[in-house]
């Protein structure tokens, strides 16, 4: 073994050792959130956020801070990339062209609606884009992914955790209320599946609501939802390019000229979707990696919770909550109108 190799190994071990305390804490919080979710029925993401926020004081600990910071970035991006293993192109195509276009239109219009509404409320469009992505695409995962490509600001982490907390709560409410709406409107299993999958924010709540009505509804709602997850790629691509152009015109915003407009985790997501579509990923490998993706995302949420103080969330006010409620209503009305009068 050469001296250079030995130094490289020592540096690697040093970095791992430095990150271990904070990452271990985030993983413990994620495990506690999973336990509470399984025994009390509330969303795992919500428990991870609340437990993490209770441990905010650990951000003052020099031994824990590096691992917590890493959990909110590297672990997050790994989890989002691995989501690609849940999707195949064949599943999406099976929905039909008209539903695909209508659901996609709802996603992009929700983001635009959020940006415009936030601007009318006298705020910057950035939170409207962040919350619109969370509501329109896939809840907490989308909020985290979009936040990771935004130019850095003092309020970014606070806004991200607020968006995650609010969208998780709204998703839980939707999981209970939307099946009642489907029954009241006497929607067919196909229509109900398209409505639930096209409107509810998080994958877990879509599965719970869909299969709570029928197996057929559950299958269609899950595929529709996974299509919305796949839209994370074009959304992040467009936003990545847009934010980079915007940042390059600002004197007070640092721009990394060598950085790709599309993060590597999005490229990884696309590659895994391709491999999964082609059948290159055996089930014995796919299932553990999908499980790992879930753990990564909850661990990242735990890290963000630890990084966020309750005081900073209180300072946000009711305006952003009202905005996200309006975005939730917007995409629900859009999809429902399409089902009843267009598709």
Q: Which residues of 238-256 are buried (b: 16+ CB within 10 A; e: fewer)?
A: ebbeebbeebeeeeeeeee
d(CA 333, CA 22): 43
pLDDT for residue 327? 93
d(CA 121, CA 7): 55
Q: Which residues of 36-56 are buried (b: 16+ CB within 10 A; e: fewer)?
A: bbeeeeebbbbbbbbbbbebb
Band (6; pLDDT cuts 50, 70, 90): low
Instruction: Summarize pLDDT for 180-211 with one digit per residue, the tens.
Output: 899 899 999 889 999 999 998 877 678 778 87
Instruction: Summarize pLDDT for 231-271 with one digit per residue, the tens.
Output: 888 888 888 777 777 666 655 555 444 445 556 777 787 88
What DSSP designation does 87 have? Answer: -
d(CA 26, CA 309): 16
Domains of the chain, by residue range, sit at 45-342
Q: Read off the tokens for 143.
A: 């909020």
d(CA 99, CA 104): 8
Q: Are 141 and 336 in contact (CB under 8 A)?
A: no
Band (38; pLDDT cuts 50, 70, 90): confident
d(CA 183, CA 113): 28
d(CA 141, CA 289): 16
């Amino acid at each position: 073994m050469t001296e250079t190799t030995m130094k490289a190994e020592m540096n690697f071990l040093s970095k791992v050792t430095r990150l271990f305390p904070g990452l271990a804490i985030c993983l413990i919080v994620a495990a506690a959130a999973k336990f509470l979710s399984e025994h009390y029925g509330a969303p795992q993401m919500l428990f991870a956020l609340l437990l993490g926020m209770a441990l905010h004081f650990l951000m003052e600990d020099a031994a824990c801070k590096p691992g917590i910071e890493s959990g909110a970035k590297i672990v997050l991006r790994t989890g989002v990339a691995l989501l690609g293993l849940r999707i195949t192109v064949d599943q999406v195509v099976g929905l039909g062209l008209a539903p695909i276009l209508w659901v996609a239109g709802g996603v992009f219009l929700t983001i635009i609606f959020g940006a415009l509404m936030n601007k009318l409320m006298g705020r910057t469009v950035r939170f409207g884009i962040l919350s619109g992505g969370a509501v329109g695409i896939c809840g907490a995962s989308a909020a985290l992914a979009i936040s990771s490509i935004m130019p850095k600001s003092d309020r970014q982490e606070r806004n991200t955790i607020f968006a995650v907390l609010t969208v998780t709560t709204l998703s839980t409410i939707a999981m209970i209320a939307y099946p009642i709406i489907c029954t009241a409107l006497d929607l067919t299993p196909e229509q109900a599946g398209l409505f639930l999958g096209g409107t509810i924010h998080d994958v877990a709540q879509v599965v719970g609501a869909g299969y709570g009505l029928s197996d057929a509804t559950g299958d269609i709602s899950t595929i529709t939802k996974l299509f919305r997850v796949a839209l994370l790629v074009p959304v992040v691509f467009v936003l990545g390019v847009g934010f980079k152009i915007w940042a390059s015109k600002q004197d007070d915003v640092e721009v990394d000229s060598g950085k790709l407009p599309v993060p590597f985790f999005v490229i990884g997501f696309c590659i895994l979707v391709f491999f999964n579509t082609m059948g290159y990923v055996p089930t014995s490998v796919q299932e553990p990696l999908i499980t790992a993706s879930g753990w990564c995302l909850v661990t990242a949420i735990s890290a963000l919770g630890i990084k966020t103080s309750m005081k900073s969330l209180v300072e946000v006010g009711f305006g952003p909550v009202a905005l996200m409620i309006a975005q939730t209503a917007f995409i629900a009305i859009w999809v429902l109108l399409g089902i009843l009068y267009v598709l």
